[in-house]
Amino acid sequence: MKIVDLFRRLAFGELSNLAINKGNGVLAEEKHPQMIQYANEALLRIFSRFVLKERSLILEQTTHVMDYHLIREYAVTSDSGSVRHRYIIDTPEEPFKEDVIRILAVYEDVTGCQFPLNDIDNPQSLFTPKPSVLQIGNPKDGVRVAIVYQARHPVLDDRVGQILDQEIDVPFYLESALQNYVGYKTYCHMNGQENIIKGQEYLSAYEAICLDIEQRDLANQSVHTSHNKLEQRGFV
C-alpha cells in the first residue's frame, strides 16, 4: 500500500467528516506532513506489538566493551568520527539501518549455537538490559556473534514532494488498524470534547483489531525472516 492509498482510505473513511478532506479521496496537501507523523507513530506501535519483520546483524566483540548498543554510530559504514570501536559489521550494500525494536536471538560464530538470553542462572547467558543493547559478560576480541532482532518499519519521509509514492509494508489485516490509529491521532489533536470522544472511539477500534489478530495468531504467519543471510555467512 502506498501513502496515496492510505490517504484515500482515510478521506473516504475515518477523516471523511473533517475539513482536511477535500473530496474525491484527497486530503489537504498542507496536512500531509502531519498525517505522515501520525502514520509513523502508528507503524512503530504496530511493529512493536507484532513481530512483522526480522533482520539480522553481525557484531564483533572487543575485550573492554560489555554493553553493545545497536545504533548507527557503531556500524562500520557510519561516518561518525566520535566512535573509537565500530563493532557492527555492515557493508555499503547492506548498511545497518538502526531499526532495532528488540533482540530476539543471538548465535555463536563458530558452532552456530544459540546463546541463552536473560537467564541469570546460566553462566553462558547474554543479557539485554535495554531493548537495543546486548550485554556480553566476558567479551573476546575479534569473536563475532549474529543477532536476530525484531525490526521496525522504515520511517516515512514527511517532506512535501516525497510523500505520496512511499510504500507502507503492513499485512492486509493490519491496514485497518493503521487507519484507525491515524484517525485517533488526528481527532485527539483537535479541540472540543466531541473530537476527543471520536478519537477514543478510533483508539478502541485499533485495540479491538489488534486483539483479534493476537487471538487468531495471524501475525505469526507473516514474519519476514532474514535467517538465510545468517546461513550464508556461516551461522546457524
pLDDT, tens only, 122-138: 999 999 999 999 999 99
Q: Which of 55, 147, 62 is nearest to 108 (CA)?
A: 147
**45 and 65 within one domain:** no
Handedness of CA 14, 19, 20, 25 (dihedral sign): positive
> Which pLDDT does position 232 carry in this prediction?
53
**118 and 163 within one domain:** no
Q: Higher model confidence: residue 138 or residue 223?
A: 138
> Which pLDDT does position 160 carry in this prediction?
80
Q: Higher model confidence: residue 110 or residue 112?
A: 112
Q: Please compute the mean of the pLDDT values over residues 182-207 and round it to a whole number.
A: 96
User: pLDDT tens digits, residue range 165-176?
Assistant: 999 999 999 999
Q: What is the mean pLDDT of the chain?
A: 92
> Which pLDDT does position 220 carry in this prediction?
76
User: Whole-angstrom Cα distance, residue 56 to residue 45?
Assistant: 21
User: Whole-angstrom Cα distance, residue 62 to residue 120?
Assistant: 23
**228 and 126 within one domain:** yes
Does residue 182 form part of some domain? no
Cβ proximity of 4 and 165 under 8 Å: yes
69 pLDDT exceeds 80?
Answer: yes
234 pLDDT exceeds 80?
Answer: no
**146 and 120 within one domain:** yes
Which residues have CB under 8 Å from 41's CB, separation 6+? 181, 185
User: pLDDT tens digits, residue range 29-54?
Assistant: 999 999 999 999 999 999 999 999 99
> Which pLDDT does position 169 carry in this prediction?
96
Q: Higher model confidence: residue 112 or residue 128?
A: 128
Its domain, for residue 25, covers 3-50+156-168+187-221
**Angle, helices 3-12/175-188, rounded to nearest 10 degrees:** 70
Does residue 20 form part of some domain? yes
3-state secondary structure (DSSP) of residue 148: strand
Alpha-helical (H) ranges within the chain are 3-12, 32-49, 175-188, 193-216, 227-232
**64 and 104 within one domain:** yes
62 pLDDT exceeds 80?
Answer: yes
229 pLDDT exceeds 80?
Answer: no
Confidence of residue 109 (pLDDT cuts 50, 70, 90): confident
* DSSP secondary structure code for residue 72 in this structure: G
**113 and 72 within one domain:** yes
Q: Which of 99, 88, 101, 90 is nearest to 154 (CA)?
A: 99
Q: What would the grid cell of residue 57 be?
A: 546483524
Does residue 180 form part of some domain? no
224 pLDDT exceeds 60?
Answer: no
